[in-house]
Amino acid sequence: MSPPPPAAESVQELFLKSFEQLAQSDDSPALETLRKAHPESVWTKKANALAELYRSLRRAERGRAKAQSDLRACRSAQKRRQEQIDRLKNDLQKMKDLVIEMELRSK
């Protein structure tokens, strides 16, 4: 006697598997199975909405990471510019001191 064939996964089981898979990746074989086997199910609609939320979340996370990288680059550039400004101020003060010294010598 052969074992009975495996029972097809329920709609809820497929939804739960797709939920777990979508949390890890945009790719979900369970979601594809759910879409094919139960295209009109409320669970399929919920899984599709969930998939879109995860995609939006990942886009937002990529945008946030880029913004943080850009912010670090701006802060670094600002620091370099401030150092340059400080050097120029120092040089200007030295020039002013030199002009005063030269004026005093000429008298």
Q: Is residue 69 part of a domain?
A: yes
Q: Is residue 94 part of a domain?
A: yes
Residue 4 pLDDT: 40
Residue 29 pLDDT: 94
Residue 9 pLDDT: 80
Residue 6 pLDDT: 47
- pLDDT per residue as tens digits for the range 73-86: 999 999 999 999 99
Q: Is residue 6 part of a domain?
A: no
Q: Is residue 3 part of a domain?
A: no
Record the pTM.
0.65
Task: For 39-51, give one letter per residue: b (16+ CB within 10 A) or e.
Answer: eebebbeebeebb
Tell me the DSSP string of 2-55: PPPPPPPPPHHHHHHHHHHHHHH-S--HHHHHHHHH-TT-HHHHHHHHHHHHHH
Q: Is residue 2 part of a domain?
A: no
Nearest Cα residue to 22 out of 37, 64, 41, 14: 14
Residue 106 pLDDT: 87
Q: Within the chain, which residues score under 70 in pLDDT? A: 1-8
Structural domain count, the chain: 1
Q: Is residue 4 part of a domain?
A: no
Domain containing residue 56: 11-106
